[in-house]
Every structure is written in C-alpha cells, then in structure tokens.
Amino acid sequence: MLVIVVENAPPSLRGRLAIWLLEIRAGVYVGKVSRRIREMIWNQVIHGIENGNAVFAWSTNSENGFDFDTVGNNRRTPIEFDGLKLVSFIPPPPSKTPF
C-alpha cells in the first residue's frame, strides 16, 4: 500500500499519478503496486512537482510498519532518530510587526 499527497502540483503530474493510483481526495492518491512501479512513480513526482510539495508513504517491514519521504518546500521534514523516522517541524519565520 502506498499513499502520495501533493500540494500545488501541476496538472500534468496529477494526471500521471491518476494513471497508476486512485485519487480519493484532491491531491491524495492511494494504491498497491510493486516496488519497481512505486519507485518509478516517486521518481516522476520528484521530477514533476515544480513549485509544489509532496509526501510519499508506503508499507514496509520496519519498526513503524511504513516509511515515508518528502519533496518540495514544507514545514515538516523527516528526520532519523534512534532508527525511527520522525517528523520535525520547522518554525515559521518571526513576525516583523510587534504585537
């Protein structure tokens, strides 16, 4: 099982994802494909995302039972911590106006 969520993705990428996966909500794609096809799909996302961002999660034999990767600018960044992949939040830029 795999899940891909895209934001601000170009229509060409969204159409490409819809060929291989089911779009269950706007920008949310799910499916069950082989490892080879999964890697091919993610490679297309990496090369076609342009100014958008995406997160990709898939089932695997790990402590969490899944793994994930991201591409594009987002406040959430994957980090490794004691063998587990977690999510780190980048703080928003400070406001320039006083209270």
Q: What is the mean pLDDT of residues 21-44?
A: 96
Q: What is the mean pLDDT of residues 4-22?
A: 96
CA-CA distances (angstroms) from residue 87 to 25, 44, 56, 68? 23, 23, 13, 10
For CA atoms 57, 60, 62, 65, give the dihedral sign.
positive
pTM to 2 decimals? 0.83
Using one digit for the tens of pLDDT, what is the confidence trace for 80-94? Answer: 888 788 888 888 778
